[in-house]
Structure 1
Amino acid sequence: MKNSIVVVDDDPIIRMDIREMLEEEGYAVAGEAKNGEEAIELVAALKPDLVIMDVKMPVMNGIKASRIIRSLHDTETSVLLLTAYSQKELVQDARSAGVAAYLVKPVSEEDLIPAVEIALSQKERIDSLKKDLEQLKQSIEERKRIEKAKGIVMKTFALDEEEAYRKMRAASMAESIPLIKLADGILKDGPQRWFGS
Structure 2
Amino acid sequence: MLICSPDPVFRDHLTRLLAAIGGYRAAVSVSPAAALQSALEQPPDLLICSHEPALCDGITLTTSLRGKVWVPVLLAAKNWTPELVKAAVTAGVAAFLASFPTEPELAHALIEARIRLEHEDLLRTKLRESEQRLADRKVIEKAKGLLMEQERISEDAAFKLMRSQSMTRRVSMAQLAEELLISMSNQG
For Structure 1 versus Structure 2, the TM-score category normalised by the shorter chain is: 0.7 to 0.9
| SS class of match (1:190) | helix
| SS class of match (1:29) | coil
Give the structure 1 partner of residue 107 of structure 2. 113
Counterparts of 1:88 and 1:171 in 2: how far apart (Å)?
A: 59
Q: Which amino acid aligns with 1:19?
A: T
Deviations 1:101-155 (A, max 9, x none): 2111221111001011112211221221121011101101101111111111112
* Alignment partner of 1:131 is 2:115: no
Counterparts of 1:167 and 1:129 in 2: how far apart (Å)?
A: 35
Shift in Å, 1:178: 1.7
Residue identity (%): 29
Match of residue 171, structure 2, among 146, 164, 177: 177
* Alignment partner of 1:81 is 2:75: yes
Q: Which runs of 5+ in 1 are unaligned?
A: none
CA RMSD, aligned part only? 2.3
Deviations 1:21-56 (A, max 9, x none): 334444443532111111111111122232110112
TM-score under structure 1 length normalisation: 0.83
| SS class of match (1:159) | coil
Distance of aligned partners of 1:179 and 1:88 in 2 relative to their CA distance in 1, 3 Å threshold: closer
* Alignment partner of 1:32 is 2:28: yes
Give the structure 2 partner of residue 67 of structure 1. 63
TM-score under structure 2 length normalisation: 0.86
Give the structure 1 partner of residue 2 of structure 2. 6
Give the structure 2 partner of residue 159 of structure 1. 153
* Alignment partner of 1:95 is 2:89: yes
State how many pairs are aligned: 187
Distance of aligned partners of 1:34 and 1:66 in 2 relative to their CA distance in 1, 3 Å threshold: same
Give the structure 2 partner of residue 52 of structure 1. 48
